[in-house]
């Protein structure tokens, strides 16, 4: 599952808006960044929201929505994966969520 698709499934049209904002700002592909360079995605979200705290809250609340929806994702671990650039964790969950959210 793509990151922006996940956002749309949790709160449409969030993914579409993030994708368009990244395109407009020249930040690249948020879907690729999420699984290859999650810290860079967090940094770009911080620029987009003009505040790192808000960007972290956005990712944390995404984790909360995932926990509420599928019951297996820890919002703290989800956020930490982006903060620590743990692409393996994010990529692994994106693959699992593809099955869990279909």
Hey, what are 89's tokens?
């964790």
- Structural domain including 35 reads 3-100
pLDDT tens column, 27-63: 999 999 999 999 999 999 999 999 999 999 999 999 9
Overall number of domains in the chain: 1
Hey, what are 75's tokens?
């919002």
- What percentage of residues in the chain have a pLDDT greater than 90? 89
For the four alpha carbons of 53, 57, 58 and 60, in that order, the dihedral sign comes to positive
- pLDDT(75) > 80: yes
In this prediction, residues 14-30 reach a mean pLDDT of 98
> What are the strands, taking DSSP E only, across the chain?
none
> pTM for the whole thing?
0.94
């Amino acid at each position: 599952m793509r990151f922006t698709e996940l956002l749309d499934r949790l709160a449409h049209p969030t993914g579409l808006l993030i994708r368009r904002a990244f395109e407009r700002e020249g930040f690249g592909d948020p879907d690729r960044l999420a699984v290859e360079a999650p810290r860079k995605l967090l940094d770009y979200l911080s620029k987009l929201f003009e505040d790192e705290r808000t960007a972290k809250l956005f990712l944390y609340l995404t984790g909360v929505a995932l926990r509420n929806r599928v019951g297996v994702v820890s919002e703290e671990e989800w956020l930490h994966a982006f903060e620590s650039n743990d692409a393996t964790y994010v990529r692994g969950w994106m693959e699992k969520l593809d099955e869990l959210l279909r």
